[in-house]
Chains A and B, each alone.
Chain A
Amino acid sequence: MHLEHHRDTPTALSADAHRPDGIRRALRIGLGGPVGSGKTATVAALCRALRDELSLAVVTNDIYTREDAEFLLREAVLPPERITAVETGACPHTAIRDDISANLEAVEDLEDAVGPLDLVLVESGGDNLTATFSKGLVDAQIFVIDVAGGDDIPRKGGPGVTTADLLVVNKTDLAPYVGSDLARMAADAKAQRAELPVVFQSLRGGTGVADVAVWVRAQLSAWTA
């Protein structure tokens, strides 16, 4: 009834599954995690993996630059009109959790400009372990940590590690060099997350972003079902 109520109003408010014109909107997936864990690289890899089968776009939330958006533009993972940056006033977690209005506008503007879209990836600025996305902004969220940040991060938990719909442990290729114990990280993550999935990945070899892409496709099937 909530959705029906807003269907004929000028713009959607937040999590409404339909756009004002009645079309089902794109699935929105958030990617959060600490600085340097590989969020932007994962977004870039996902774009390359999915761009031929899906209509997608990216919103970046940079802390004080447009660097993440510019990296994606430089890498040409998507046409420039499908990438937009939100300025967050030194508080990236505020823009994805407490006050999501700028991100909602960015998502809607992308759908208006290049839509219809199947998927919008919303990348948060690098932040701390407590930063999670509001359910008013995204339908599912990925939390990206890396082995070099310390193999005790899964044990420490925090909202990102514990509640994200998918936990990605990135840069597994570095584990031998930084002395991180992958088995211990997996066991700790399992203890924190119970049945919620965890993916270990290295974007520099092996299957790359493939496991995450599989998870994204499954989310999308559920969304459009």
Chain B
Amino acid sequence: MSRAALLVLADGRFPAGGHAHSGGAEAAVRAGRISGAASLEDFCRGRLHTAGLVAAGLSAAAALGIDPVALDRAADARTPSPALRVAARKLGRQLLRAARATWPSAELDALGREFPKGAHQPVVLGLAARAAGLGPVDAAYCAAYESVSGPASATVRLLSLDPFDATGALARLAPEADRVVDRAVEAARRAADEGLDALPAGSAPLLEIGAEVHAAWPVRLFAS
């Protein structure tokens, strides 16, 4: 196992389709809920503790070797918005392609056969981490960080925000991301013993509603 593999997997340039998604930021910008660096940071904080925590829990659980089919159903139940389910599967499919090319593994191939149109991205992320020789903590870190880095870079494009401000917000959220990862990994370990109800289920009503608002627009910059 190589710790540097974590950097490869977490790299924003890892070619897995994330660049076309704003993590709900585009809808929040249009609604006026994100208008600058401060509101971006608060948006990211809320996303980190809800969707980010859920994704981190699922990723850690997949990295622990919990059945990905069951995890995918758990992800569905935690994602009421069909627009977000579609986005998560799209991103999962793209990540699976990139991961299979990067870390060939029988588990990833099997996942592709089970979900030809894509499994939920965090589940794929956990298995990709496994294939890369990484563990549940690494997988949870990737998921938690992605949950805020995506909206931050999208907002830089949407609002022509100073990129240093956006990066500063991410840095200030780092201690909270640590706590989210701790919670997620602890929940994933419990889920291995007690069942998937132990996984986090944090919800963000405005992310759910905003995703449906966004999906209904005829013109948009980002896919979600």
Say whether A associates with B. yes
State the A residues within 8 Å of B (CB).
Answer: 9-11, 13-14, 63-66, 86-91, 94-95, 98-102, 104-105
Summed over the interface, the residue pairs from A and B with CB atoms below 8 Å come to a total of: 78
> Is B59 positioned at the interface, with any CB of A under 8 Å from its CB?
no
Q: Looking at A10, A65, A87, A88, which has the most chain B CB atoms within 10 Å of its CB?
A: A10
Given A89-B22, A99-B16: A10 touches B109 (CB 8 Å cut-off): yes
Can you offer 11 A-B residue contacts whose CB atoms are under 8 A?
A: A13-B101, A14-B97, A65-B218, A89-B20, A90-B154, A90-B158, A94-B19, A98-B13, A98-B19, A99-B15, A105-B90
Identify which of A86, A87, A95 gathers the most chain B CB atoms within 10 Å of its CB.
A87
**Which residues from B are CB-within-8-Å of A63?**
221
For B, the interface residue count at a CB cutoff of 8 angstroms equals 30
Closest to A70 in B: B218
Complex CA distance for A99 and B97, rounded to whole angstroms = 11
Smallest Cβ-Cβ distance to B17: which chain A residue: A101
With contacts A94-B19, A95-B20, A99-B17 known, is A11 near B97, CB below 8 A?
Answer: yes
Q: Is the CB of B100 within 8 A of A90?
A: no
Q: Classify the secondary structure of B's interface with A.
A: helix
B20 contacts A10, CB within 8 Å?
A: no
Given contacts A64-B219, A89-B154, whether A104 and B109 have CB atoms under 8 Å apart is: no
The one of A9, A64, A87, A100 in contact with B15, judged by C-beta atoms closer than 8 angstroms, is: A100
A2 to chain B, nearest CB (A): 11
Within 138-165 of B, Cβ neighbours of A (below 8 Å) are at 154, 157-158
Interface membership of B175, Cβ < 8 A: no
Given contacts A91-B20, A101-B16, 13 further A-B contacts (CB under 8 A): A13-B97, A64-B220, A86-B20, A87-B223, A91-B157, A98-B13, A98-B19, A99-B18, A100-B15, A101-B94, A101-B95, A101-B98, A102-B94
